[in-house]
Amino acid sequence: MHGKTQCYLTVILAAMAALFAACTAAEGPSAEESGPIPDEDGYRLWLRYAPPGDSAAQYRDAVRQIVVPGDTETARVISRELGSAIDSMLEFSAPVVREWTKTPAVVVGTPSTSEWIRDLGWDADLAEAGPEGFVIRSIRVENRPVIAVASEGEIGALYGAFHFLRLLQTGRSIQALSVVDRPRVQLRLLNHWDNLDGSIERGYAGRSLWQWDEMPGTLRARYTNYARANASVGVNGTVINNVNADARILTPEYLRKVSALAALWRPYGIRVYLSANFAAPVRLGGLATADPLDPGVIGWWKAKADEIYSLIPDFGGFLVKANSEGQPGPKDYGRTHAEGANMLADALAPHGGIVIWRAFVYDEDVDPDRCKRAYIEFTGLDGRFRPNAVVQVKNGPIDFQPREPFHPLFGGMKRTPVLAELQATQEYLGQARHLVYHGPMWKEFLDSDTFAKGAGSTVGKVLDGSVYPFPVTGIVSVTNPGMDANWCGHHFSQANWYAFGRLAWNHGLSAEQIAEEWVRMTFTNDGPTVAAIRDMMMSSWETFVSYTMPLGLHHLIGGNHYAPMPENDRAPRRDWTAVYYHRAAADGIGVDRTRLGNKAVEQYFPPVRDLFDDIESCPEKFLLWFHRRAWDHRMKSGRTLWEELCEKYCSGAEQAAHLRARWRSLAGRIDPQRHREVADRLEIQAADAARWRDHVLRYFQQYSGMPITPP
């Protein structure tokens, strides 16, 4: 059915590939000139520290010495990272010393470990940057050029060191540096959905990183490299077990293992958190109840918290999935989410810990539409949580769909801190088989204006506490590394780990800048190749949405959350089927969530609610999320809705084929192993995209009764 289009496309792609190859050949060194590029397996992530080409001479002159004052674990981490990075990038060994000896140098430290840093007189800037922020400046001391990287705290100094290395890795000038930077939110956390048996829920990159059987005696090098990768982007905490929590993680046996990891990661600024099973007092403690108001239960959790902090003094706290998808929770005892969260918050408070309570709940008795349920339950509890209890909300109201409008709890919760839960693991986004860069998706979310306090109340600003003065702020990612050699399954899935860290640090960064940094550090600094890969990444999400669930469609899948299954009408719950979400029938498709429908739009502040409510103003990317329309509804393009759907699926599949062609044209510019491995996955992606197009259009055609039209 798409023969003509495909043929036309193939010709264009071939021409573009040839043109592209010609351009790049003219601008960069050819493989012949520089010799064959050695294979890489991706294990070193974005910390490969490859020689930066032309800039190397400039860097060598500036960094004749690495000065890291102080004798702390973190100072040693900084020394090791800078020493080996400079060695590997500049192919020259700069001595690493504790005191500056009047040589062109990079000096990294804090006022408390170094008099030299104190004497810089940067107190005001350091105070502004805070203990996790840093100041980097090119200065002259005793007529010598020095790059000073300073922070109030040593973790800030470590982040500053990584920032400095990123400049080198991405080929930037380091001649007149003047940087003051600090994280926009306090908690920048990973959530691992790792089970104690080594499997990973919705994990696509091999088994769990955590080798529980070997711990605490053996701590693999991978755990240290994991910490380096996280610290390099400012991630400062990690929840290491699945939210569908096995209570045994709280036994003394496991806590000893967890404490070994916490000790290993402490110098990198990474605190450990645990997912707690709400029924642990019953399952581990032998109590008859887990009722949060029961004195025995309260006592059990207090004792458990004391035990944890005796082993892990900087333990972050508990993450809890309660009364969701079969997990136990306070509602089992007629108590509210707030009562459950507060009981745990009280146990943690004396130690400075927090409880992170998930808002991923959708009890059927709350509302017929799953989309509305969490908002109804949690806004009803707003203001009833302890100061050290926060609510973690997924970016959209359903569940990590390829594209969702922002969750109305952002802005809707005014007196309870909310953290955003993103998902780097591409559960509904092609898993580790499709190239889908999440940067643009996360930016669309973070830049969405909630209008909670008038224009400019973006989700990012809600999260960083500038809309409501939240005492705790943060952004979290369900994360993707496993035991695969390249950590994330797909080489490009590493970019989602990286982009999460960068956006959690500063939600104002652009997805494009982040992609470019990552490409330069991960693949090459060759300009045309960087531009080509960055552009592939930037278009990949929209492409994925087009060939899977365009125009606001969502959940057109079955239990594997991967293959197209719009016909899915049988599942243990109605809201786990696909038909519940698209409702295709002869009269049209989509869910009426307008004021005349189920009123889900009313969960948003005006004018967002009006924007979504009005068919004229509702962005078409969310059309079928908020509106039910006839197949011949006229779109802004002039096409009917049916034609527009055909166009989206067809162009999406074409763009997926284009990604494959674009990547093929880069052969010789990327090392052969990674080039091949990515190419193999792009084959799968192109074939899957065509399958999505054919399957979904044929399925909906039974209802539209209209011919499938190529664009």
Q: Which is nearer to ligand BDP, 324 or 525 (CB)?
A: 324
- Alpha helices (runs of H) in 417-558, residue ranges in sequence order: 439-446, 459-463, 494-505, 511-522, 527-548
The verdict on whether 325 is a catalytic residue reads yes
Query: Nearest CA to 168 among 407, 460, 525?
Result: 525
Q: Decide if residue 498 touches ligand BDP (CB under 6 A).
A: no
Q: Decide if residue 243 touches ligand BDP (CB under 6 A).
A: yes
Q: Which is nearer to ligand BDP, 421 or 688 (CB)?
A: 421
Compute the least distance from the CB of residue 419 to ligand BDP, in Å: 14
Compute the least distance from the CB of residue 91 to ligand BDP, in Å: 46
Q: Which is nearer to ligand BDP, 201 or 575 (CB)?
A: 201
Q: 108, 67 in Cβ contact below 8 A?
A: yes
Cis peptide before 607 (omega within 30 of 0): yes
Q: Which is nearer to ligand BDP, 109 or 203 (CB)?
A: 203
Q: Residue 626 in 3-state DSSP?
A: helix
Q: Residue 503 in 3-state DSSP?
A: helix
Q: Residue 224 in 3-state DSSP?
A: helix
Q: Which of residues 510-529 bind ligand BDP (CB under 6 A)?
A: none
The verdict on whether 253 is a catalytic residue reads no
Q: Which is nearer to ligand BDP, 100 or 400 (CB)?
A: 400
Compute the least distance from the CB of residue 648 to ligand BDP, in Å: 24
Phi/psi at 655 (nearest 5 deg)? -65, -35
The verdict on whether 575 is a catalytic residue reads no
For 402-424, what is the HEC assignment? CCCCCCCHHHHCCCCCEEEEEEC
Compute the least distance from the CB of residue 421 to ligand BDP, in Å: 8
Q: 413, 453 in Cβ contact below 8 A?
A: no
Q: Decide if residue 404 touches ligand BDP (CB under 6 A).
A: no
Catalytic one of 325, 364, 587, 680: 325
Give the pairing of strands 271-275 and 237-239.
parallel
When CB distances to ligand BDP are compared, the closest residue is 399
CA gap 606, 612 in Å, rounded: 10
Q: In 597-683, at which residue ranges do the beta strands (DSSP E only) sit?
A: none
Compute the least distance from the CB of residue 250 to ligand BDP, in Å: 19
Task: Quickly tell me which residue has 């981490």 as its tokens.
Answer: 77
Catalytic one of 81, 154, 339, 399: 399
Q: Which is nearer to ligand BDP, 323 or 655 (CB)?
A: 323
Q: Decide if residue 201 touches ligand BDP (CB under 6 A).
A: yes
Query: Nearest CA to 321 among 478, 481, 488, 204?
Result: 478
Q: Looking at residue 110, what DSSP letter applies?
A: -
Task: Quickly tell me which residue has 């470590």 as its tokens.
Answer: 158
Q: Which is nearer to ligand BDP, 181 or 421 (CB)?
A: 421
Phi/psi at 418 (nearest 5 deg)? -115, 140
Q: Which position among 122, 268, 400, 451 is part of the footprint of ligand BDP (CB under 6 A)?
A: 400
Q: Which of residues 357-376 bind ligand BDP (CB under 6 A)?
A: 360
Q: Which position among 427, 449, 464, 517 is part of the footprint of ligand BDP (CB under 6 A)?
A: 427
Query: Nearest CA to 355 among 387, 332, 384, 378?
Result: 387
Catalytic one of 291, 427, 449, 517: 427
Compute the least distance from the CB of residue 199 to ligand BDP, in Å: 12
Q: Which position among 367, 399, 404, 484 is part of the footprint of ligand BDP (CB under 6 A)?
A: 399
Q: Which position among 244, 289, 336, 379 is part of the footprint of ligand BDP (CB under 6 A)?
A: 244
Residue type, 633: H
Compute the least distance from the CB of residue 200 to ligand BDP, in Å: 10
Q: Which is nearer to ligand BDP, 110 or 426 (CB)?
A: 426
What character string, x for contact with ligand BDP (CB under 6 A) and - otherwise, covers 247-286?
Answer: ----------------------------------------
- Alpha helices (runs of H) in 154-218, residue ranges in sequence order: 154-169
CA gap 175, 329 in Å, rounded: 57
Compute the least distance from the CB of residue 477 to ligand BDP, in Å: 12
Total number of residues that touch ligand BDP (CB under 6 A): 10
Kindly tell me the sign of the dihedral angle through the C-alpha atoms of 634, 635, 641, 646.
positive
Q: 324, 276 in Cβ contact below 8 A?
A: no
Q: Decide if residue 202 touches ligand BDP (CB under 6 A).
A: yes
Q: Which position among 2, 184, 266, 321 is part of the footprint of ligand BDP (CB under 6 A)?
A: 321
The residues carrying an active-site annotation are 325, 399, 427
Interacting residues with ligand BDP (CB under 6 A):
201-202, 243-244, 321, 325, 360, 399-400, 427
